[in-house]
Amino acid sequence: MGEFAIGQGVPRFEDPRLVRGGGRYVDDVALPRMAYGYVLRSPHAHARIRSIDTGKAKAAPGVLAVLTGSDWEAAGWRDLPVPGGMKRRDGSPSYKPRFPALVKDRVRWVGDYVAFVVGETLHQAADAAELIEIDYEPLPAVTATANAAVPGAPLVWDDCPGNVCFARFEGDKTATDAAFARADHIVKHRFVINRVTAATMEPRGAVGDYNVADGRYTLYAVLQRAQGYRAELAQVLGVPESMVRVVAGDVGGSFGMKSAIFNENPLTLLASKLIGRPVKWTGTRSEAFLGDAQGRDNVTDAELALDKDGNFLGLRVKSLVNAGAYLQPGMPAFTGNLGTLAGVYKTPASHVDVTVVFSNTNPMRPYRGNGRPEAAYVIERMVDLAADELGLDPYELRRLNMIPPEAMPFKTSVTFTYDCGEFEKSMDIALKMADVNSFEKRRAAARKRGKLRGIGLSFTIERAAAGGFEGAEIRFDRSGTVTLVSGSHSQGQGHETVFKQLVCDRLGLDPNEVYYLQGDTDQVFFGEGTGGSRSATMAGSAFHLASEKIVVKATQIAAHLLKLEAADINFADGIFSSAKTNQTLTIQEVARAAADPSKLPKDMEAGLVSNAVFDTDTQNFPNGCHICEVEIDEDTGEVEIVDYNVVDDVGTVLNPLLLHGQIDGGIAQGLGQVLMEDIRFDADGQLLTGSFMDYAMPRARNTPAFHVESNPVPTKTNPLGTKGAGEAGCVGAMPAVANALVDALSVLGVKHVEMPATPERIWRSIQEARAG
Amino acid sequence: MKAPRFHYVRPESLDATLGLLAEYGEDARILAGGQSLMPTLNMRLSQPKVLIDINRIEALKGIAVHDGMVRIGALARHVEVMNSPIVAEALPLIAEAMPHVAHVAVRNRGTFGGSIALADPSAEMPACILALGASVVVDGVRGRRTIAADDFFIGLYETAREPDELLVEVLLPPQKPGHVSVFMELSRRHGDFAIAGIACHARVAGGVINDARLAYFGSEAKPVLGTRTMAILNGKAWPTASNEVVNAALDEDLDPIGNTFGSPATKLHLQKVLTRRVLDAAVQRARAP
């Protein structure tokens, strides 16, 4: 089955359906007697609620229910999941804020959840929401990360002093201090990593359906991980997990954002229970800006210690991270990716000190990379800053400090132990692809055209598939066709294609006879889901194991049918054969026999079905070199990316077409943040960027063609040799683009430009550099 | 989100429309292409009592040459203006600016008259008609008036049209021989609101600029003519005129308003950059065969 073999660029099986409008998204769910919910959100960043009067709203036409914080409390359901177990600086437990689905007496961000109105139609619900009378007492708000921990800052939670949720430390402080004490050079810089939103193509949505007959709750949802989601939801509802079913169809983008249980999800279920009808809620784009959890947002002070030759001696990083108004699951995971700060370097001593603070802003969540792009940005900008300060070539400075392949496995000074990687080789391939040697000619030519041309390189590495497990199931039916049941869930990545490709390759199947199923907790036996660049590795390996189990059982059946020993049977390309007979059997014939107990060995269970759980305590480390070339209009600050080259190492490449899609999309997201995307609040905490007219997303014409090559160094930590690819593009792009911008502006004396590097900001940095 | 409750009327004639406007005045909004109105309604930023849909009124449609002027009906869609041979021939400034007006979908529905009547400070068409010295024709039960573009734009989204009046057409003088037009704007991405922009119309011969009309948009509360700058440039060869003098004139002419896309200082700087580029292009175009 060469056409579908591992490594072939098989076009996506799901695309014909999706591009023809055949997707089944949550808003496509239509149940009989369905009612519609509308969320009334806080117009204040911070306010006390003196009173709420829902009388007029309840009397409005078509209104079925108006729920407030009191109704949520009366239901006796628990808070939305809030992680705990971290510590504050003094060793006391992390602050665990309350997280009811509807607030009762205090709102903490513009968009916070005040009431849920259910009507016969959405518009009746929305009209009624305007009739709810709320007496707010506005309070001072804090939105900027740097201000949240300043003494005297408004407290988001009255009993959380200094707004500090928790602190986290990595590395060895004593060794790092010693390294800095003997350093010849210390390079310091403060980075402000701005706040962005996932801006998924499909906004969030939910349909809650409580069945009064059997007392079971069904939630049609957008998510990344069906089973984990159900477990958390059952805890919120306070019912056994078996009494909750979660179903997700196609999901139009998530990037981490949709993996949480958002307030609307239990609200649709509560409303459904109260009115005895299914309740749908679909977010608008405006609500996505107001209500979705957002990403990144930290202020980081970094220091790099070097000896006189440029060897890195130590890295010290102090970071203040914004959690938003509440603490969603996944925020602590951000700190789990601090290891990315070590980069691909031998730096013997590092110390990282992170403080997570509350603010009157949308809660924060993992967003494509979840700490990795931020950390990669910091270390790779620091290397360029160090090269500039010491007058060294940034490529040679990296080469000098890179971990060589023969040092693997290498334990870095921050968290991780890398198992493999050929960093210098990948960089050399990239330098050649980007024709770095003749760059100065291009710079000079651009100058004649009035443009400032710059080149920037990043070499980044991140942790993917961080341990854990994943399930997969292969079900042959009695006709010999197959259903694949995946524990992992696609939000657009192409799971269906890759898993079909993998199983068809292993079992010699025709993909047209294979159906792919995901996201229904009544069907999927084990679903940890997608996140942290894990699906190819975890679910891919699980399908690999499930395929092996199928082959083992099918071989026994084939041997029985052919009256031979299993050891005599060969299996290749879907056919069982033997040197001892001319007879052959297809896997479909074996599957049909498997459904008939009379054709099986005496003690064998009927059916050709296997499920497998891939379980690992290791992780893998995708890495790669990005080289970006930009041209800047000195007069206007406009930036054009003129060339972009990548050499990635994501281990075994299962499908290069999908890999390039992942890398390209990741780069677009990374450069989007560095050049234009920016969530901004005014001094009162009002969101200034509440639409796509104010929040700029990169478009095709803002990106050049990306040239992507692979230097695969398969990992031995999983049977496929894959490393995660989902976040790599984004991780590499932020520092590469930023380094290119600074390089272009360096002729004017500019040392750094904060993100997003809008024309305004670039022009200002030029003015500031000129003013000295 | 959808619009709050409103009454909807779709008159079949101009007279009926003017009658409705006389009756409802400020409580009414005119629905033409709806590309600015509908989003504000749906976001509930605007709550008119009555929506008067003028899309059926033939008298407001079309692009034609009449009495030596180009008449663009209020209901002419941007796409019609963009594809019009009359506009391409007689109004090269409009033709050059039109691709900058939002995106294809917006241009397919949005109307020329709607853009002028709304007077969005970052819109392209108001600046163009100002640069061209066009006239805006409004009608009402109290009578028809022709208002010079110079007098039409009063302030932020504010025009000389009274609440009981309807913008019916714009009259534009065709570009005369020896004149050139240049349109430039800076926006974050193509189709975004302009951060700074200029619509320029001038007589240029042998590198000497005369009768220049420079309409600035994107940076001010309304499209404004750079009158001092225009006066300085008049009768002078470009680029021999001192940049500093031009910049000093622009400091006087402009009073930029900052927003999320740019501070006042940045916008003023960008308008200076664009002024230089626009004039360079004007001279170059005049020289081109």
Which residues in chain A touch residue B268, judged by CB atoms under 8 angstroms apart?
none
- Using the Cβ of A30 and the Cβ atoms of chain B, whether some distance falls under 8 Å is answered with no
CATH of domain B60-172: 3.30.465.10
Sketch the domain layout of chain B as residue ranges: 7-52, 60-172, 181-287
Domain membership flag for residue A192 = no
Q: Return the percentage of chain A with pLDDT > 90, whole number.
A: 95
Q: The domain containing residue A754 runs over which residues?
A: 294-465+618-771
In contact, A462 and A341? CB cutoff 8 Å:
no
Q: Is ipTM > 0.90 here?
A: yes
Residue B262: pLDDT over 50: yes
Give the closest-approach CA distance of B261 to chain A in angstroms: 7
Residue A612 belongs to domain with CATH number:
3.30.365.10
Nearest by CB to B2, from A126, A130, A688: name it: A126
Give the closest-approach CA distance of A686 to chain B in angstroms: 13
Domain membership flag for residue A228 = yes
Residue A278: pLDDT over 50: yes
| A343 and A286 both lie in a single domain | no
Q: How far apart are CA A302 and CA A305, in angstroms?
A: 10
User: Which whole number is the average pLDDT over A335-346?
Assistant: 93
Give the closest-approach CA distance of A755 to chain B in angstroms: 14
| A523 and A637 both lie in a single domain | no
Residue B75 CB-half CA count within 13 A? 15
Neighbours of A102 (CB within 10 A): 24
B43 Cβ contact list (under 8 Å, min separation 6): A286, B1
Domain membership flag for residue A182 = no
A657 by Cβ neighbours in 10 Å (0-12 / 13-18 / 19+) ranks as middle
| A568 and A483 both lie in a single domain | yes
The pLDDT assigned to B108 comes to 97
Return the structure tokens found at A717.
């930590």
Query: Please, which residues bridge with residue A475 across strands?
Result: A483, A609
Domain count of the fold of chain A: 3
| A447 and A551 both lie in a single domain | no
Instruction: Give residue A167's pLDDT band: very low, low, confident or very high (50, 70, 90).
Output: very high
Residue B289: pLDDT over 70: no
The pLDDT assigned to B242 comes to 78
Lowest mean pLDDT among A243-257, A466-480, B231-245: B231-245
Q: Return the percentage of chain B with pLDDT > 90, whole number.
A: 90
User: Which whole number is the average pLDDT over A715-725?
Assistant: 96
| A308 and A440 both lie in a single domain | yes
For residue range A627-667, what is the model confidence (pLDDT) as tens digits? 999 999 999 999 999 999 999 999 999 999 999 999 999 99
Which residues in chain B touch residue A676, judged by CB atoms under 8 angstroms apart?
188-189
Nearest by CB to A694, from B5, B260, B273: name it: B260
Superfamily of domain B181-287: CO dehydrogenase flavoprotein, C-terminal domain (3.30.390.50)
Question: Is the Cβ pair A694, B1 closer than 8 Å?
Answer: no
| A235 and A340 both lie in a single domain | no
Output the average pLDDT for chain A.
96
User: Which whole number is the average pLDDT over A702-706?
Assistant: 92
| A480 and A425 both lie in a single domain | no
| A565 and A602 both lie in a single domain | yes
Best CATH choice for the domain B7-52 from the list 1.10.3080.10, 3.40.50.720, 3.40.50.2000, 3.30.43.10: 3.30.43.10
Domain membership flag for residue A214 = yes
- Using the Cβ of A449 and the Cβ atoms of chain B, whether some distance falls under 8 Å is answered with no
User: Which whole number is the average pLDDT over B35-56?
Assistant: 93
Question: Is the Cβ pair B269, A284 closer than 8 Å?
Answer: no
- Kindly write down the DSSP assignment for every residue of A119-174, as one continuous string: ESSHHHHHHHHTT-EEEEEE------HHHHTSTTPPPSSTTSGGGEEEEEEEE-HH
The pLDDT assigned to B240 comes to 74
For residue range B169-204, what is the model confidence (pLDDT) as tens digits? 999 999 999 999 999 999 999 889 999 999 999 999
Residue A51 belongs to domain with CATH number:
3.90.1170.50
Residue of B nearest to A695 (CA): B260
Q: How far is CA A165 from CA A91, A334, A352, A355, B260, in A?
A: 12, 14, 17, 8, 31
The pLDDT assigned to A617 comes to 86
Residue B241: pLDDT over 70: no
| A525 and A442 both lie in a single domain | no
| A567 and A437 both lie in a single domain | no
The pLDDT assigned to A1 comes to 47
Nearest by CB to B273, from A123, A635, A680: name it: A635
Single residue among A261, A291, A321 that ends a domain in this structure: A291
| A446 and A347 both lie in a single domain | yes
Which residues in chain A touch residue B190, judged by CB atoms under 8 angstroms apart?
701
